[in-house]
Structure formats: structure tokens, C-alpha cells
Structure 1
Amino acid sequence: MPIHAGASKLVKIEGRPVSFGLYATYRAESPTTGPHGWGGRAVITLLFPK
């Protein structure tokens, strides 16, 4: 049973929108052959609005 939490922030760099995010996952229960413990990821998304 994974528990997820995260946050992201939209900022402008030189007038262009960019989204930054940090996310964490804790696996409270998992199968014997599945992943265990903590995991995380960092995300940068470049946005190109019309």
C-alpha cells in the first residue's frame, strides 16, 4: 500500500513558464517481491504555451 505526497511550483524564468516538483512515496505494505521503503522523484517540466 503506497502513500504518496508531493508539491510543485510554477515559476517564470526569463519570461518562460517552468514547473518544478518534488514527490515522495512510502510503501507501507508491499508483496515480498515488490519494492519496499521510501522512494522519490524530482521533476522539471518546460511549458510551451501558444
Structure 2
Amino acid sequence: MDQVFEKLNAEIKRTNQKLTMRTAATNLYASVPTGIVVVALMWLLNTFNVW
């Protein structure tokens, strides 16, 4: 059972790393105005507890 969980945990870590690298790459190519709009929208959602 421990071996199954170790393999599953390793796969989850690999998947998270792929997602993190993909997110970082996407953010590098995102335009500044779009980033500002997204940050403002997230702030508004968080401020009004919609998020």
C-alpha cells in the first residue's frame, strides 16, 4: 500500500511541476494590460468575497 501511495505522490508532484512551468510560461507571454485587468478583477472578487 505504501508503494502505491509513493507512486501516486510522485505522479502528483510531476503533474504540479508541469502545471507550474506551464503557468510561468503563459505569464511570461501575457501582455501587461491583460495582467493588470486580471489582477484588478481578482482584487474586486476578493474584496467582495465572491472569489
Alignment TM-score > 0.5, same fold: no
Structure scoring higher RCO (CA < 8 A, sep ≥ 6) equals 1
By percentage of residues, which structure has more strand?
A: 1
Question: Which structure has the bigger radius of gyration?
Answer: 2
TM-score range, shorter chain: under 0.3
Q: Which has the higher helix share?
A: 2
TM-score, scaled to structure 1: 0.24
> TM-score w.r.t. structure 2 length?
0.24
